[in-house]
Chains A and B, each alone.
Chain A
Amino acid sequence: MKILGYIFSFLVFPGFLFSSIMGLLVGWVDRKVTARVQWRVGPPWYQNFVDVVKLLLYKETLIPAGVSAGTFFLMPVLAASSASLVSTIMLMVNAFPKSGFIGDVIVVVYLMIMPSLALMLGGFASANAYASLGASREMKLMLSYELPFILSLVVPIMKSGFAVKFGTIISHQHASGLTIASASGVISFFVMLLCVQAKAGFIPFDMAEAETEIISGPFIEYSGKALGIFKLAKAILTFIIPIFMITLYFGGINFKGWGFITSVLEYVLILVLMILIKNTNPRVRIDQAVRFFWGPLTAFSIIAVVLAYWGF
């Protein structure tokens, strides 16, 4: 029975189905806020559902000539399953802080790399020059943002007495103040905000799938169901990233009473901040991105780690 419970929580709630629905709603918030910033009306709330249902049910799925179909079709599934595993772990840990295990932070960090990795392998498997170019950009981007991302992740871990466990990080923040309420916390929060911008593939760092430049990069040969599953994976990742940051910096999601409203406000704040960064910046080149992440952001995150070590 326990196995059935795990399968249910992975596939339905709070895993794949629930986080897909939430992710598509978050994707609508993204499109709507983008439209309002550009003084447009924007699509209705069900737009992303219609798009994904259309791709999954009604469109033809084409297999390009010369691809290895196994890798090509495995990659969207891999991306979606690892993204929904991240979301299962994050939501379970937020609801029941004791349900985690030692090292779940590291597991989540690895699982969050998987969608990018799947995108890369899918791009290389597509037998298309633009897809290969996009995949190689994705690889360089991943190498550049992971360093400041991990360094800024060290700060909440150090703040909670070197506990590599979400449950302990949450309970420690409830006991002795939020991570964001310290100097090192603020610095590492903003470093991580820019890193997850690249992780979610949002605009200043969307050179891997630049639509106007390399026509969607790794996605170029994907159609129908495969594209729909990739879209779902991306939606789930976009949904879970603000929750990941709330867990680390704002003491987790509070499910009781007024605390829930505060948590939702924090979620919306982080999400809208990401969308506004997306809408007010042009796409940077890949060399600029590498210089940005390995230069100032790594320096800032090292400063944050040193401050956290000194107890600020």
Chain B
Amino acid sequence: MGLKEKILTKSLYVFHLSSGSCNNCDIEILDCLTPRYDLERFGIILVGSIKHADVLLCTGSTNRQTIPRIKKLYEQMPKPGFVVAFGACGASRGLFKDSYNTGAPLDEIIPVDAYIPGCPPKPEAVIAALVKLIDKVNAKKKG
């Protein structure tokens, strides 16, 4: 684990993007910051602007309206940045898979680094995904 990876994974600024979510996942994201789980312990905070972010946290079923916006936001994120697909919809469009207005799953639009399954995922699942993301960043360094 190099110094760069250590510093990158100790201070993850999260930008929360809702691409047509039903708001359940968005509530669970806020749950992670409340006293019971308190992700600020690990240096994770929500930021308002994509230009400050390290993690693009994408909830929702990526409908046709939001796909160009997702691409634009991914391009605006300062690199190195990571993409996390949040919830069943973010991972695979969930039960809106055959809907007329969901174009493509998130990982066919932009590269995704970690998936958080669940509808909505529990905060424990979010923390587990975080550990996976950190492991992946460190593995990239080795590989």
Contacts and interface: CB of A to CB of B under 8 A. Distances in A.
Interface of A: 31, 35, 38-44, 47, 50-51, 53-54, 57-62, 211-212, 215-216, 219-224, 227
Interface in B23-60: 34-35, 38, 40-43, 47-49, 51-52, 54
Nearest to A64: B51
A122 B79 CA distance: 22
B8 interface: yes
A166 B35 CA distance: 44
A62 to B, nearest CB: 6
B35 A40 contact: yes
Contacts, number: 76
A57 B49 CA distance: 20
B52 A39 contact: no
Contacts of B43: 43, 47, 50-51
A35 B52 contact: no
Contact-size category for B: 20 to 34
A309 to B, nearest CB: 47
B101 interface: no
Contacts of A31: 40
- Give the 6 A-B residue pairs with the shortest CB-CB distance, closest first: A215-B48, A60-B78, A223-B51, A40-B38, A211-B48, A220-B49
Interface in B52-101: 52, 54, 76, 78-80
A54 B11 contact: yes
Task: Please classify the interface of chain B as helix (H, G, I), strand (E, B), loop, or mixed, using the class held by over half of its residues.
Answer: loop
7 contacts: A43-B40, A47-B43, A50-B11, A58-B8, A60-B79, A222-B51, A227-B51
Nearest to B37: A40
A5 to B, nearest CB: 33
Given A31-B40, A50-B7, A212 B48 contact: yes
Given A211-B47, A220-B49, 8 more contacts: A39-B35, A47-B43, A54-B54, A57-B7, A60-B80, A221-B51, A224-B78, A227-B52
A51 B11 contact: yes
B39 to A, nearest CB: 10
Contacts of A42: 38, 40-41
Contact of B52 (A50, A53, A219): A219
B49 to A, nearest CB: 4
Interface of B: 4, 7-8, 10-11, 34-35, 38, 40-43, 47-49, 51-52, 54, 76, 78-80
A226 to B, nearest CB: 10
Contact of A38 (B7, B8, B35, B80): B35
A54 B7 contact: yes
B48 A54 contact: no
B78 A53 contact: no
A181 B86 CA distance: 57
A222 B13 CA distance: 14
A54 B47 CA distance: 15
Given A59-B78, A224-B78, A35 B11 contact: no
B7 A61 contact: no
Contact of A35 (B40, B47, B79): B40
A74 to B, nearest CB: 18
* B4, B43, B51 pick with most chain A CB within 10 angstroms: B51
A183 to B, nearest CB: 42
A50 B35 CA distance: 23
A53 B51 CA distance: 16
A273 to B, nearest CB: 23
Given A39-B35, A51-B11, A223 B78 contact: yes
B71 to A, nearest CB: 16
